[in-house]
Chains A and B, each alone.
Chain A
């Protein structure tokens, strides 16, 4: 299991946990993140925010925010 910011473009997996304060969790939930949801990395430039795809949408996530999302790698 790795945090989202370590995923390379094309890597996909399932969200196993999300860490953070209540308002962060509630914001990130509202935009589509939830436990056991499939997620795919689209853009990760080692610095700066990442772009992921989940629930049919593209979402930009700050690096710090991405590191709070823990993912189990692998496609179903």
Chain B
């Protein structure tokens, strides 16, 4: 007798907003790992759990509405079902919206896999007046059906039992199941007959026939390659009969199946909720004017709350950083000076910045998770969709852009609510164009020093340039990542839910793990590198590699009228935008007692803003100042932002690519501003 199998792969499938991730979190707890699907930018979430001495690997398939080849998410799901052959597929639906959410099951049920149907949110359904005969539904479908309320932890033991018993069941799922109560349309039947036994592929024939009817490009190509030319011509003849309405025919067939399955099991009791009466808050949240005001207020509150929560921690971290750094340096007094500086000025500040970032990101992410969990994000996207469309983006990108005005890192994090990876990637890269609070701090000083009476004019020009930059970048991004799936706004407004803090906590925790793995190391690494450049070869920033690079970049600097000092300040801004002013102070010899740029983070550099202003005013002209303001406004994302870009995209290519792109555009804006300045002044 062969040994019994004890390792199983379970796939979790379902439409968005069905509570799929709550179930995923309940099953796996914190034992999750996040990566990308091989060769794709689509996020792959997996986790493990044990039950009855067996080990289960749970794969969370992307939440999609159907299984066409229109988006990468949908392709990933169907490829997984046929290629990886999971032992069991758990299909999740929202019991309060069965007629719609069963659509995903109508696709999966045609595949030769074992399926368990989870009726999630049973509590909401019952409260809405849904009366469901689960036993009858189970009989009609021929698969196990588990009613659940995952947010209340109801039904979990039953689900675990069902997974276990399905996995050990000897009954093999059949391809082209004849017992399925499916009313095949005439045209589908004709196409199915036309391909019967002729396509050597893991897909079931009825599913293929429906996909052909839908003009699914991948499936059409597959079948065309498999069939003899004559047979393919016959199929094409049949397809022509749909007169272009094949997609709707196929969808109609699926919904008819859903209706026939539900007709004997589902009853609405009492007050049906389909009266079209809307929640008062929802009318406000989706109002064209008030909805926008509410959204901006909520996002501002999000930011304020994040700051209130993290400020004490950050204060403590910054305070102890200087102490730790000083302590380490004095205890390393016997060592060569560069060792002490490396640890005290290089490593400690690098790690310190990463920790400051985590303490800022955790509360922020928690609040974003909360807004999404209660169902508000869809409303926010709805009110800003038209506005964002002008930039070639979806409404869901709005939150990222608004949060970016305070900090680009939060903008990148905010992109998590965007469900299409292409749109999300475009948003992640584009948020760096938005000037964050720290950028305003630096250029604010420059503008006041040089253009006191023309502040409004300069700021207006900056905003105009920003809009141009947003439009150009969006155009380029869409050229690189053509979004063929773009179909305008078609978005579900999920019912509001009570927040499930467990889900939000696990969500936050999973993110933190990913950030520590990628972002943390990148940030600490880059900070350390900047230290290296600014310390070596002889511990003096004015003769360091950094200044050598600054001097080496003189030809570029001269295009903007800048000498090496301003170039170094631009480079230092990579580590942190706030650091640019302090770096300038150090370079101009106003700040004292600092040997390297990274030390600025751990030691407060005492310098008078007015003294720096004097020094700048005497050494550079207004055209150069204007060039610096523009170059700085559009400068390369700071290392913290690059860190989250990397931890969110998991792609070195996009991280480095965006750094290069923004370096280039920053210089371009600087050169343009300088030349315009030369004409004016």
Contacts and interface: CB of A to CB of B under 8 A. Distances in A.
A49 B255 contact: no
Nearest to A59: B492
Contacts of B64: 30
A55 B378 CA distance: 19
Contacts of B488: 24, 62, 64-65
Contact of A62 (B103, B252, B274, B489): B489
Given A27-B65, A29-B66, A48 B288 contact: yes
Interface string A20-49: 001111111111111111001011010111
Contact of B385 (A34, A58, A62): A62
Contact of A42 (B66, B247, B278, B492): B278
A59 B382 CA distance: 10
Contacts, number: 125
Contacts of B164: none
B485 interface: yes
Interface in A51-76: 51, 53-62, 64-65
Contacts of A56: 96-100, 273-274
Contacts of A29: 66, 103, 247-248, 250-251
A26 B490 CA distance: 11
A18 interface: yes
A12 B274 CA distance: 11
A40 B490 contact: no
B461 to A, nearest CB: 31
B491 interface: yes
Contact of A37 (B97, B255, B288, B378): B255
Contacts of B98: 56
Interface in B264-283: 273-274, 276, 278, 283
Nearest to B255: A34
Given A27-B70, A65-B489, A45 B214 contact: no
Contact of A28 (B250, B490, B493): B490
B421 to A, nearest CB: 16
A22 B382 contact: no
Contacts of B97: 55-57
B270 to A, nearest CB: 15
Contact of B493 (A12, A22, A26, A59): A59
Interface string B526-553: 0000000000000000000000000000
Given A48-B386, A56-B97, A25 B247 contact: yes
Nearest to B493: A58
B400 interface: no
A30 B247 contact: no
B658 interface: no
B70 A26 contact: yes
A47 B484 CA distance: 26
Contacts of B274: 40, 53, 56
For A40, A54, A55, the residue with the greatest tally of chain B CB atoms inside 10 Å of its CB is A55
B354 interface: no
Contacts of B99: 32, 55-56
A28 B255 CA distance: 13
B518 to A, nearest CB: 33
B214 A26 contact: yes
For B64, B96, B255, B273, the residue with the greatest tally of chain A CB atoms inside 10 Å of its CB is B255
B96 A61 contact: no
Given A27-B490, A65-B487, A43 B103 contact: no
A39 to B, nearest CB: 11
B99 to A, nearest CB: 4
Contacts of B410: none
B68 interface: yes
Contacts of A62: 385, 488-490
A60 B494 CA distance: 10
Interface string B246-265: 01101110010000000000
Nearest to B247: A25
A24 B251 CA distance: 13
B490 A65 contact: yes
B215 interface: yes
Contacts of A36: 252
Contacts of B214: 22, 26
A26 B252 contact: no
B341 interface: no
Contacts of B492: 31, 57-60
A72 B385 CA distance: 28
B103 A30 contact: yes
Nearest to A20: B487
Interface of B: 64-66, 68, 70, 96-100, 103, 214-216, 247-248, 250-252, 255, 273-274, 276, 278, 283, 286, 288, 378, 382, 385-386, 484-485, 487-493, 495
5 contacts: A25-B247, A31-B490, A43-B283, A47-B288, A53-B274
Given A27-B485, A32-B103, 8 more contacts: A25-B247, A26-B216, A30-B251, A31-B490, A34-B248, A42-B278, A53-B276, A64-B488
